[in-house]
Amino acid sequence: MSDEQNKDLGTQGAADKAKGAANQVAGKVQKKAGQLTGDTSTEAKGAAREAGGKVQSKAGHVEQKVDEKLKENNQGA
């Protein structure tokens, strides 16, 4: 199995949150560069990347919450 498959949801969630945050920042920079240069294509790509980063961060947060709940349930069993 790959390292990606061996990660628990909490670890994977933390990684997704970090990647999402990085994509949000990169998207904001790309969008601003497009605005400053008048390149609407670059601006749109930046906005899409920023939005994708937000979704990825939120998914990572959800993965971590699910992992927490699973661990709580396993401790009670």
Domain edges within the chain: 9-76
Higher pLDDT: 73 or 38? It is: 38
Per-residue pLDDT at 1: 41
Per-residue pLDDT at 4: 52
5: pLDDT strictly greater than 70? no
Per-residue pLDDT at 6: 55
Cα-Cα-Cα-Cα dihedral sign, residues 30, 43, 17, 4: negative
74: pLDDT strictly greater than 90? no
23: pLDDT strictly greater than 70? yes
- C-alpha–C-alpha distance, residues 77 and 72, integer Å: 9
- C-alpha–C-alpha distance, residues 21 and 12, integer Å: 14
Higher pLDDT: 7 or 29? It is: 29
- C-alpha–C-alpha distance, residues 51 and 65, integer Å: 21
